[in-house]
A and B are shown apart, each in its own frame.
Chain A
Amino acid sequence: MDLSVLDRLKWLQQQQMVSPEFLQILGSDGREELKRVESYLGNNNDELQSFRHFPEFGPDYDTTDGCISRTSSFHMEPVKNNGHSRAITLQNKRKPEGKTEKREKKKIKAEDETEPSMKGKSNMSNTETSSEIQKPDYIHVRARRGEATDRHSLAERARREKISKKMKCLQDIVPGCNKVTGKAGMLDEIINYVQSLQQQVEFLSMKLSVINPELECHIDDLSAKQFQAYFTGPPEGDSKQSIMADFRSFPLHQQGSLDYSVINSDHTTSLGAKDHTSSSWETHSQCLYNSLRTDSVSNFFSLK
């Protein structure tokens, strides 16, 4: 009993320390707070394991988004448990990279705390929860027994894993996305990149239409020659033409979006410093860069 009281006091202090800083969840301090919360959640390893093997129960949920009814109520038989049960109200839905599977289970259990609390017959656990609820400092609700392994919770977990896989694929494709942490920031980068690509298409269409209409007759020959030189590497006979083409590509990069042009220029500059044949390296590096992108994509999904 004394130990549990001491644990409550420690938890109270930690709760009061953490709670005002969580309002600034968008700040850079979120990482440190995450570590504190994880260190606190790690202490409950023994208690959480005791609830792991309860059987599944409850109605079947429809897993489509937005149609899930949250008004269903559970009827549980009251089961006596040891006096070490504790409520955890800290929630944080960011996922740092170094998490293990056990921590994911704890987090999923913590995320179910928003469900309304059980109303059952009074026993030891109910008296504890009722006494804790009456305190004016905070209101804490934890996941009920067996909800972590509920079919709905398992489906939600699978959906979250799918989304994180897709986000990693997008992180590989979109340049500059590796620096951003958090799902909202990554979505911002993706939206900006798609919009910049669409603007480049508009710009290139306008530029191509400004050229004299007589050139449209020769576009077959131009595209055939330039296509070979651009994508399969420059042959020896067309070295002058490829050099002129590479020279022309620089102002076009500068007129594009900032993120796209900066990364491309950095990439070509770093490669150019290593080798003296910079013109052939630019063409070759672009082919490599594009092939690396699509190769990483084709590993994760295939539409054909």
Chain B
Amino acid sequence: MQPTSSMNEEFLKKWQMGLQIFRPSIDNTSVHERKKAIKLSADVAMASLRKGTTCWSRALIEKTATEDNFLVRQMLSGIKAETLINKKLPKKTVCHRKIVRRSKKILRRKSKSASEEAAAKAKRLVKRRTQGLRNVVPGGELMSNDVLLLQETLDYIVSLQTQVNVMRSIVDAAEAEIER
């Protein structure tokens, strides 16, 4: 992990590069198009902080490449964009249906006591929230391991905080400029 100031600086440089690529086409478009361009360049800049070493950054690069392939290749020119875009994401684990069905059948035979039922309910709640976390983090559906999911979430939150801090400072500076 890099310290905060260098992470912010790196994000700012990459984001500026993305905005410069968009600049010729920004002037004549609507507010929605400009917002989309700013969001897209910010996402690619955030994903390029990790240089493809994490699942969420590869998933985010792949998602933005479908929207604007030219931008992604330009912004990732120093990090081997070809290998990143074509790199495979981890596959889902395949469970044999026979084994799962047979184990469920065996479990259903036994009658559960009250405490076992309570433990099963708690486990069900945790499982549902884990699935919700997979939906929120980019690439979360493809992580088969709970430990990997938590680690990716940890790194994603740190990068997202960096992005929010830098964008907020830019907005504050722009508003201060308008006040003059």
Contacts and interface: CB of A to CB of B under 8 A. Distances in A.
A159 interface: yes
Contact of B114 (A23, A188, A202): A23
Nearest to A288: B4
Given A194-B156, A231-B5, A201 B115 contact: no
Interface string B98-138: 01101100110011011111110111011001101100110
Contact of A188 (B103, B118, B129, B144): B129
Contact of B38 (A91, A173, A197, A209): A209
Interface of A is mostly: helix
A249 B95 contact: no
A245 B173 contact: yes
Interface in A241-273: 241, 244-245, 248-249, 252
Contacts of A50: none
A23 B121 CA distance: 9
Contacts of B2: 304
Interface in A173-213: 173-174, 183-184, 187-188, 190-191, 193-195, 197-198, 200-202, 204-211, 213
A127 to B, nearest CB: 22
B78 interface: no
Contacts of A65: 93, 144-146
A220 B16 contact: yes
B167 to A, nearest CB: 4
Interface in B65-102: 93, 95-96, 99-100, 102
Contacts of B54: 303
Interface size band for B: 35 or more
B93 A23 contact: no
28 contacts: A18-B115, A26-B122, A26-B125, A66-B144, A67-B96, A71-B102, A90-B115, A93-B122, A139-B110, A163-B147, A166-B154, A174-B157, A184-B129, A187-B129, A190-B157, A198-B160, A208-B174, A211-B178, A217-B23, A226-B173, A227-B9, A230-B172, A244-B179, A286-B165, A287-B4, A294-B158, A301-B1, A301-B154
Interface of A: 18-20, 22-23, 25-26, 64-67, 69-71, 89-94, 114, 116, 138-140, 159, 162-163, 166-167, 169-170, 173-174, 183-184, 187-188, 190-191, 193-195, 197-198, 200-202, 204-211, 213, 215-220, 222-223, 225-227, 230-232, 241, 244-245, 248-249, 252, 286-287, 290-291, 293-295, 297-298, 301-304
